[in-house]
C-alpha cells in the first residue's frame, strides 16, 4: 500500500472524535505532508523508535507506540512464561505525551499478561537501565527522544542484560511489530484496572536510592583530597536530571554548586534552550551567564533524559568566558582521571579494559595503554559499547569505563547505558581534586595533549530531512564507496575500512573509515536516529595550531567530495 492508500486507510479506521483523525483530515490537500507521514512505518534505529509527535505511521503517536508495545509483548510471550513473568520496567522523560505513552505501554503489557513496573514521575534513562537488571526484568522501555528538539519523542527498548536491544533481538521484535495491525491487533488494556489488579506496580523511593548509591560508589577521591567549595554550575536543560543530580552533589559534599533556575523544572517545550543537546555550545547560554556572575570554574549539563553529559571550563585568559569541550576531550579527562586515581590508590586492575566507539578518538586508547589497560572498540551506540561488557569480562578483563564522542559515558558495569549523572559526579570530583592541587581541568587537558600528542577533533554533520534528504544521504555513502579518497589535506590515505560487511570483531554497519600516513584519520556514517550524515576528523600535529591546520585541510578536501553529491 502506498502512502496515499495508508493515509486513507487510517482516516477510515480511526475512531470518530480521535484528535489524530482530525489532524489527518486537516492535511487532506497536502500531498507532501501525507507522503512524509506515511511513506514508511517508524522503525528501530540506533535506539529504538524516534520521530516527530503527530498522526501517521512515520510519526510518534498512540498507535505507533501501541503497535510497538504489542509486538514486543508478543515477542516476550513467545520467549515463554518464565521470561514473561519477569515483567517490564517503563520510564519516561518530560516531553509532550511521554507520560501518556508510558501509561499506554504499561496497560498494553499488562493486557498481555506481562507485569509493568513504572516510576511515579520522570526518571533518567540510566536509572531505567539499572532497574531492569536490579529487578531481574525481561525488558525495559523508556519513552524519550533524548536530546532531540521538542517536536520529537521516542521509545527506547532494553533487554534483560540492561542494554538497549541489540540487532538480533531488535530484528525479531521488528518482525512481531510489523505483524500487528494498528487498529485491530493491539490489546490496549486499562491502566487503572491493571494498577488495581497488581499488573502495574509503581516503584518507590528505594529505587532512586539504590541507583544513586551505586553511582556514588564510583568515587575515586574524597574528603580532604577535594576542594568541595569549588564553584560549579549545572543545568538539567529542563529534563530529568534535576532531582538525582542535586541529591548526588549534596551527598558528595559539594558546598558551592548552583543549578540554572530557569532550567531546573521539566518543560516539554524547552523554551529556555530550544535545542536541548549539551553537545551544542548553544545549550550552555544560561549556564554561562550564571557561571560568569558566580565565578564558576566548571559548567555541567545533561540532556532531557540525563544520559548525555557535557562541560565547559572557565577560560582564565578571559574572565567570565568558558571553553566548551567536545565529547572526546571530556573523555580524555575521564579516562585519565579514572586510571590515574586507581593507580595512585593501588586499585588498578591487573587486566583492565575500556570500550570506545569506532568513531571516537584513538588518543584515549593511547592514554589507556600507558596504564596497561586495553581499549576495545565497538559500533556507535551504548547497546554496542555496553554490549561488549560480557565479552570483555569473559576474556578475563575488568571493565572500567566506556564512552563515545557524542558526550556519552558509562563508568559503571552495572548501569549498561550512558549516564550523565555518574559522569557529572566524576568530572565534578576531578575538578575538585585538581583544584586542591592548584590545577584546572584545562591545564590537565593540555598536559595530556603534551604527553600523548596534539589532536584536533572535528565532528561536523549535514542535516538532510525528509524523503529526499534520506535519499541524498544514501547517494553520498554510495559515491564515497565507489570513489574513495586517495588523499586528504595533502596526506595519502594508507588504509580504508568499510564496515558494511563487518570488520574483525565489529559487526556490519554503514560506516567508512580512512587512515592517513601521519596517524590522523576520518570517518563518515549516517545517523541512526536523526536525519543527518555525520563526519569525524581526528588529525595530529606537533602543536595545537598544526593539528588544527591539518584538520581544516583534511575536512575541506573530504567535504568538497561529499557536497558534490546532489
The residues annotated as belonging to the active site are 146
Strands (E) across 49-93 are located at 49-52, 88-92
- Which residue do the cell numbers 590522523 mark? 520
- Which residue do the cell numbers 550552555 mark? 284
Q: DSSP states of 374-396 as a string?
A: EEEEE-SSHHHHGGGHHHHHHTT
Distance between CA 189 and CA 184 in Å, rounded? Answer: 13
- Whose CA is closest to 123, among 249, 234, 209? 209
Q: Which residues pair with 532 in a beta bridge?
A: 463
Distance between CA 336 and CA 448 in Å, rounded? Answer: 8
User: Where do runs of H (alpha helix) occur along 179-284?
Assistant: 191-197, 205-216, 242-252
DSSP designation for 308: B
Grid coordinates in use for 238?
Answer: 529542563
Distance between CA 103 and CA 91 in Å, rounded? Answer: 10
Bridge-based pairing state of the strands 298-302 and 88-92: unpaired
Asked if 129 and 415 count as a contact pair (C-beta separation under 8 A), the reply is yes
Distance between CA 215 and CA 133 in Å, rounded? Answer: 15
Amino acid at each position: 500500500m502506498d502512502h496515499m492508500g495508508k493515509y486513507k486507510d487510517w482516516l477510515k479506521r480511526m475512531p470518530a472524535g480521535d484528535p489524530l483523525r482530525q489532524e489527518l483530515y486537516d492535511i487532506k490537500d497536502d500531498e507532501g505532508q501525507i507522503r512524509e507521514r506515511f511513506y514508511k512505518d517508524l522503525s528501530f534505529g540506533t535506539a529504538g523508535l524516534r520521530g516527530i509527535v503527530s498522526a501517521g505511521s512515520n510519526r510518534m503517536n498512540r498507535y505507533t507506540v501501541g503497535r510497538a508495545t504489542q509486538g514486543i509483548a508478543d515477542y516476550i510471550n513467545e520467549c515463554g512464561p518464565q521470561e514473561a513473568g519477569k515483567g517490564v520496567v517503563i520510564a519516561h522523560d518530560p516531553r509532550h505525551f511521554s507520560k501518556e505513552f508510558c501509561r499506554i505501554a504499561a496497560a498494553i503489557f499488562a493486557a498481555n499478561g506481562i507485569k509493568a513496573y513504572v516510576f511515579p514521575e520522570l526518571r533518567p534513562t540510566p536509572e531505567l537501565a539499572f532497574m531492569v537488571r536490579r529487578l531481574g526484568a525481561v525488558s525495559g522501555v523508556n519513552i524519550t527522544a533524548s536530546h532531540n528538539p521538542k517536536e520529537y519523542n521516542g521509545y527506547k527498548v532494553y533487554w534483560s542484560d540492561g542494554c538497549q536491544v541489540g540487532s538480533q533481538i531488535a530484528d525479531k521484535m521488528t518482525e512481531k511489530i510489523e505483524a500487528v495491525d494498528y487498529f485491530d491487533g493491539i490489546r490496549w488494556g486499562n491502566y487503572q484496572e491493571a494498577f488495581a489488579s497488581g499488573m502495574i506496580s509503581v516503584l518507590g523511593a528505594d529505587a532512586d536510592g539504590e541507583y544513586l548509591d551505586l553511582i556514588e560508589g564510583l568515587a575515586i577521591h574524597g574528603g580532604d583530597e577535594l576542594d568541595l567549595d569549588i564553584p560549579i554550575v549545572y543545568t538539567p536543560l529542563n529534563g530529568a536530571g534535576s532531582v538525582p543530580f542535586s541529591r548526588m552533589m549534596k551527598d558528595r559534599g559539594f558546598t558551592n554548586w548552583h543549578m540554572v533556575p530557569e532550567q531546573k523544572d521539566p518543560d516539554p517545550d524547552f523554551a529556555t534552550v530550544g535545542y536541548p543537546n549539551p553537545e551544542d555550545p548553544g545549550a550552555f547560554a544560561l549556564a554561562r551567564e550564571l557561571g560568569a556572575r558566580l565565578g564558576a570554574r566548571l559548567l555541567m549539563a545533561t540532556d532531557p533524559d540525563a544520559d548525555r553529559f557535557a562541560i565547559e571550563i572557565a577560560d582564565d585568559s578571559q574572565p567570565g568566558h568558558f571553553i566548551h569541550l567536545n565529547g572526546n576531550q571530556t573523555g580524555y579527562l575521564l579516562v585519565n582521571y579514572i586510571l590515574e586515581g586507581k593507580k595512585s590508590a593501588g586499585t588498578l586492575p591487573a587486566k583492565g579494559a575500556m570500550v570506545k566507539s569506532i568513531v571516537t578518538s584513538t588518543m584515549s586508547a593511547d592514554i589507556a595503554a600507558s596504564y596497561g589497560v586495553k581499549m576495545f572498540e565497538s559500533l556507535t551506540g551504548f547497546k554496542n559499547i555496553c554490549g561488549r561488557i560480557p565479552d570483555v569480562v569473559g576474556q578475563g578483563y575488568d571493565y572500567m569505563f566506556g564512552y563515545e564522542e557524542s558526550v556519552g559515558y558509562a563508568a559503571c558495569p552495572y548501569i549498561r547505558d550512558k549516564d550523565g549523572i555518574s559522569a557529572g559526579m566524576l568530572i565534578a570530583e576531578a575538578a575538585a581534586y585538581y583544584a586542591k592541587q592548584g590545577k584546572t581541568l584545562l591545564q590537565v587537558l593540555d598536559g595530556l595533549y603534551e604527553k600523548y600528542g596534539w589532536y584536533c577533533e572535528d565532528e561536523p554533520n549535514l542535516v538532510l530531512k525528509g524523503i529526499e534528504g534520506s535519499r541524498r544521504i544514501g547517494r553520498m555513502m554510495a559515491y564515497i564507496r565507489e570513489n574513495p579518497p586517495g588523499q586528504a589535506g595533502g596526506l595519502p590515505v594508507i588504509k580504508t575500512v568499510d564496515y558494511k560487511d563487518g570488520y574483525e570483531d565489529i559487526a556490519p554497519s554503514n560506516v567508512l573509515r580512512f587512515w592517513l600516513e601521519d596517524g590522523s584519520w576520518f570517518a563518515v556514517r549516517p545517523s541512526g536516529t536523526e536525519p543527518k550524515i555525520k563526519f569525524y576528523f581526528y588529525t595530529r600535529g606537533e602543536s595545537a595550531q598544526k593539528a588544527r591546520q591539518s584538520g581544516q585541510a583534511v575536512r575541506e578536501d573530504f567535504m568538497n567530495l561529499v557536497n558534490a553529491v546532489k
